Structure formats: C-alpha cells, structure tokens
Amino acid sequence: MKSVFTTSALLALLTSSSVFAANLTIPMSFEYIALDGKAIETNSFRHQSDITLSDGTHKIAIRYHDVIDDSFSDSQSFVKSTPFIVTLAVDGDYQYNLKPAEGNFIKEPKIFAKKPQVKLSRKDNGSVTYSVEHTNFTEETFISNLFKTNQQQNFEDLSVSATTDAPQVITAPVKSDIALATSVAPAVSMAPAANSANPAQAEQMLQYWWLQADEKTRKEFMGWAIKQL
C-alpha cells in the first residue's frame, strides 16, 4: 500500500511540474510582435505585458512603441522602433523582466527608438542567457497601407519569419517587401485591402486618425472606447 501512495505522489509531482512555465514581462512602452515564428495578436486598448515560456530557447520579436508630447505643439505623437529579436534560453520557471538598458525612464525616446538598447534580468537575480538582434524591418505608412497588395509583406510577417529557425525564409520576404513597396497597386485592389485589414493595419489607421483629431474628439472617442471594453 505504501508503494502505491509513493508512486502516486511521484506521478502527481511530475505532472504538476510539467505545467510550470517561465514568464517574461515587458514595460508599457514595448510590445510583442512574434514568438517562435507565430504572430502575437495585440489589442490597441489593452497592453500585453506578459508571455509564458517553456524550457528551451525562444526567439521573441519586440518593438519599442510609445506616445510622447510634441515639443512644437500641445498634441502628442507616436514613436516606434523597428522590431528587435530577443533570443532567450529558458531553463526553469523563472520570472524574466525586459527593461531599457539606460533605466526605467527613457530620456530621448526618438533617439532610443532608432536602436533600442535593452537588458533582461531575472527576479531572483540569477544569470540570464540571451542576445538581442536589431532588424531593419520597416512598417508601411498609413497611406501605403491603402494601396497594399496581397503579395506585399508587412513588418509583422518579417518579424514572424525572423523568430523561426529557417534563415532562408527570413531573407526572401525582406527583398520582396522592398521591391513591392516601390510599386503601385492597381486601383481595384483598394477595396479588398480595406476590407481585409489585419489588426496591425487597423492599429495604424487608428493612430492616424487619433493624430488628426482635436482634443474634444479624442475625449469623445475615449469615452466610446471605454464602453466597448
């Protein structure tokens, strides 16, 4: 009877330990784009600060994205970086934190956005094995999205490719993105592109109209948006 209880206890321990996972937390001014070759869907009104990670090596595409006060007016503007790829080796159910290398406060957001310098640490102050690779993936402007063809790949697609272990898939989309960005899509493609906008395109459109709106319109919109949550 004793051996039965011992075996059951061991099985329970093994089963429970298998569900443990590490956690990575990023500040409000950063956002996830992709993890291990899969896009991470984000919400414009709810920041996703945490992702769970199993043991092993993971590639996470992240970018700096913040709202800053415009020094030439009373309005605000968006500043964002190109994606950077964090390769992190996870070897336990630890709490990992990503922060700007210069500290919690970024003094020059626009300069920082050109090449974000970040560091990863563990809550228990243990050692962290990671590397950071900056990319040159660029995001299309609001206007170019209106003329976007189905063949053109955006920077989210490139970020997804960059987090996989197949380098040949990474280089090809980069070339096609640059080549197709210089072409003009036929007018007939405008309607389906607008109807099939992905979350990233919708966010860019939202940002565009937010910057065009006056203070009264922004407050009315925020009131409406809060009711939708």
Mean per-residue pLDDT, 123-146? 74
Q: How far is CA 162 from CA 36, 58, 59, 86, in A?
A: 8, 12, 8, 10
List, in order, residues 6 or more apart from 164 with CB less than 8 Å away: 36, 37, 59, 170
Residue 154's pLDDT is: 57
Distance separating the N- and C-terminal Cα atoms of the chain:
54
The one-character DSSP state at 150 is T
- Taking the C-alpha atoms of residue 158 and residue 146, their distance in angstroms, rounded to an integer, is 20
Q: Where residue 165 falls among pLDDT bands split at 50, 70, 90?
A: low
**Average pLDDT of the segment spanning 168-193:** 40
**Tokens describing residue 201:** 């395109």
Give pLDDT, residue 143. Answer: 33
Residue 10: what pLDDT? 53
Tell me what pLDDT residue 209 has. Answer: 74
Between β-strands 50-53 and 30-35, what pairing exists: parallel, antiparallel or unpaired? unpaired
- Residues 51, 25 contacting (CB under 8 angstroms): no
**What was the pLDDT predicted at 168?**
43
pLDDT at 145 over 60: no
What is d(CA 158, CA 37) in angstroms, rounded to the nearest whole number? 10
Sign, CA dihedral 122-114-33-172, equals negative
pLDDT recorded at residue 67: 86
Query: Using an 8 Å Cβ cutoff, are 141 and 101 in contact?
Result: no
For the question of whether the overall pTM of this predicted structure is more than 0.95, the answer is no
Alpha carbon 54 to its chain centroid, in Å, reads 19
SS3 state at 144:
helix
| Confidence (pLDDT) at 130 | 97
Q: How far is CA 25 from the centre of its chain?
A: 12
- Number of H helices and number of E strands within the chain? 8, 10
Share of the chain above pLDDT 70, in %: 57
Residue % of the chain over a pLDDT of 90: 33
